[in-house]
Amino acid sequence: KEDMPRKPEWLRVRMGSSAEVKRIKEKLRKHKLASVCEEASCPNLGECFSHGTATFMIMGDICTRRCPFCDVAHGRPNALNPDEPRELATAIADMGLRYVVITSVDRDDLRDGGAQHIADCVRETRERCSSIQIETLVPDFRGRMDIALEILSATPPDVFNHNLETVPRLYKQVRPGADYEWSLDLLAGFKARQPDIRTKSGLMVGVGETNDEIIEVMRDLRAHNVDMITIGQYLQPSRSHLAVDRFVTPAEFDEFACIARELGFSHVASGPLVRSSYHADLQAKGEKVG
Ligand code: SF4
Ligand code: SF4
């Protein structure tokens, strides 16, 4: 494999560590809970933790899919932990988070794709933290759309997020096992059942797409009533992952944001370090992020 390309200046990480970050990290250790923020060495950790935002991955750490951009292990998944919803909610309450993103691996092995487990986590968290905002970042539930949507819309989050990740032309290569139309339909299907809950999707750029293709995807998202969008630079987790095709410039990210607003997205986060959950609290309030 070729060497990983040097990152441009605008991708250098701002680490910073505040008392709040330290406090949250201590609580995580106390509850023996791993956050995606730490596991993925997310460049935004300092900012997110100090805003009371964190992301947790539920249903184990082994995925039934194998996407070449993703660092999550692949294989036979762990059995679901029936205590996880309660344990997660207890930890979130103790941390005093204001905004939590609950995400998961794909569980193609489960009859409902894990929808009930996700809903249980949302319910338990709401019961313990009445003022927290909850975002679920869900898998595509391929082959199980109706049952999953029925369950998930019965215990809705504040924001329903499902990432398209990339443009349809690159799906076979970048999201094997997924289907572009299916993912759009999942987002539209949730909105149809819960019109007052915001829907959200995200794209990573720099995997071989063109800017025009990105704009086409934005149009498709709006045609499926998606309210919020995140666009960020793909970074290769290791040499054995999908290579970075290009570094999109900050000016191009600004251009995407402009177009997204014109297309009618109510919440737009577009920038090199933007991640699906980056400043999710501010995104949800509609403030400019990126
Ligand atoms: Fe990673 Fe999600 Fe793909 Fe699984 S489905 S390999 S968690 S990106
Ligand atoms: Fe965590 Fe997401 Fe913030 Fe990164 S962007 S620190 S993963 S909440």
Q: What is the ipTM of this complex?
A: 0.96
Q: Which of 94, 101, 93 is nearest to 42 (CA)?
A: 101
Tell me which residue range forms the domain holding 214: 9-285
Question: Among all ligands shown, which has an atom nearest to the Cα of 135?
Answer: 2
The reply to whether 159 falls in a domain is yes
**pLDDT tens digits, residue range 28-76?**
999 989 899 988 888 888 889 988 999 999 999 899 999 999 988 999 9
Segment 80-107 shows an average pLDDT of 95
Ligand nearest to the CA of 45: 2
Judge whether 3 lies within some domain: no
Number of domains within the chain: 1
Whose CA is closest to 153, among 190, 203, 106, 199?
190
* pLDDT at 7 (0 to 100): 82
Residue 1 has pLDDT above 50, yes or no: no
235 lines ligand 1 (CB under 6 A): no
For ligand 1, mutation pick of 36, 64, 105, 242 (most atoms within 8 Å of CB): 105
Q: Find out whether the beta carbon of 228 lies less than 6 Å from any atom of ligand 1.
A: no
User: 158-200 pLDDT, tens per residue?
Assistant: 999 999 999 999 999 999 999 999 999 999 999 999 999 999 9
- Specify the CATH number for the domain of residue 146: 3.20.20.70
Position 127 in a domain: yes
Asked whether the beta carbons of 274 and 289 are under 8 A apart, the reply is: yes
Give the pLDDT band (50/70/90) at residue 115.
very high
Mean pLDDT of 259-278: 93
The answer to whether residue 290 sits within a structural domain is no
Q: Which of 33, 41, 42, 50 to mutate to test the pocket of ligand 2 (most atoms within 8 A of CB)?
A: 42
- Judge whether 256 lies within some domain: yes
The pLDDT-based confidence of 234 (bands split at 50, 70, 90) is very high
Distance CA 276, CA 232 (A): 8
Q: What spacing in Å lies between the alpha carbon of 113 and ligand 1's midpoint?
A: 13
- 2 part of a folded domain: no
Assess whether pLDDT exceeds 90 at residue 213: yes
Residue nearest to atom 7 of ligand 1 (CA): 105
Is residue 183 in some structural domain? Answer: yes
In a domain, 4, yes or no: no
Q: HSE, CB side, 13 Å, CA atoms: give it for residue 247.
A: 15
Residue 111 has pLDDT above 70, yes or no: yes
